[in-house]
């Protein structure tokens, strides 16, 4: 368990065929920005799991390749130079729709702690692959622990958020009891405020 997170970190999720590139400002309260590379057939948003972010708008800028975005059930193909903004609370996922690698820049406004949230999941796929299925889906107890720890960052689409909060709060202690742990913990609110605009 760690709260340390270094600028310039690259994390590869072999299950998703997705690489995160954290080269910008870290723990900035205003915007969380990072790069994503998707290999052929790679997907973002947890194995193309439809999800939503209740507290932040998400902006995608496609740098190379072609990305399929599905927002509110509507599919959109975006090539290099194009962009998509997903307003907070809207169900979505995205995937590589081309024959080679695709690169995009992702940003969240406000930042919350989305950098740490995604870094945590990607780190766990490397350090604890047994906690994921062959398809890369995390054990449900692990999902409960992470989504409870990073409350109001991401929820599954199609299930009322209040019910997910209740369920995750009940299951998080069980997850810890059976041995699941976070790779990267969120900063406390006080530290997050003090670290706004920090590079490390």
CA distances from 92 to 47, 75, 97, 160, 200 (A): 12, 10, 15, 16, 30
The pLDDT score that the predictor gives to residue 194 is 41
pLDDT for 150-183, tens place per residue?
999 999 999 999 999 999 999 999 999 999 999 9
- Determine the pLDDT at residue 13: 85
Give me the residues of the chain with pLDDT under 70, please.
1-5, 24-26, 45-48, 189-200
The structure tokens 């766990």 sit at 124
- Give the model's pLDDT for residue 197: 42
First-to-last alpha carbon distance for the chain, in angstroms, is 17
Distance CA 60, CA 82 (A): 8
CB-based burial label for 143 (10 Å; 0-12, 13-18, 19+) = buried
User: Which backbone phi and psi does 58 adopt, to 5 degrees?
Assistant: -115, 130
Q: Given this model, what pLDDT does residue 200 score?
A: 34
| Residue linked to tokens 């790779």 | 183
Q: What pLDDT is attached to residue 188?
A: 80
Mean pLDDT score of the chain, rounded to an integer?
88
Q: What are the pLDDT digits (tens) for 82-105?
A: 999 999 999 999 999 999 999 999
Q: What is the reported pLDDT for 133?
A: 86
pLDDT for 23 equals: 77
Would you call 135 exposed, middle or buried from its count of C-beta atoms within 10 A (0-12, 13-18, 19+)? exposed
């Amino acid at each position: 368990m760690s709260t340390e997170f270094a600028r310039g970190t690259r994390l590869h999720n072999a299950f998703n065929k997705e690489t995160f590139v954290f080269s910008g400002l870290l723990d900035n309260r205003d915007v969380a920005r990072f790069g994503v590379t998707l290999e052929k057939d790679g997907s973002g948003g947890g194995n193309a799991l439809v999800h939503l972010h209740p507290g932040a708008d998400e902006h995608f800028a496609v740098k190379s390749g072609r990305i399929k975005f599905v927002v509110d059930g509507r599919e959109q193909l975006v090539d290099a130079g194009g962009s998509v903004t997903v307003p907070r609370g809207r169900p979505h996922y995205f995937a590589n729709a081309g024959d080679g690698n695709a690169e995009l820049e992702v940003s969240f406004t406000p930042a919350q702690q989305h950098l740490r949230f995604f870094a945590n999941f990607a780190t766990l796929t490397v350090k604890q692959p047994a906690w994921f299925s062959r398809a890369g889906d995390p054990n449900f107890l692990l999902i409960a622990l992470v989504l409870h720890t990073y409350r109001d960052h991401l929820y599954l689409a199609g299930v009322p958020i209040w019910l997910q909060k209740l369920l995750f709060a009940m299951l998080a202690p069980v997850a810890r009891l059976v041995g699941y742990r976070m790779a990267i913990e969120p900063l406390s609110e006080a530290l997050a405020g003090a670290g706004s605009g920090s590079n490390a």
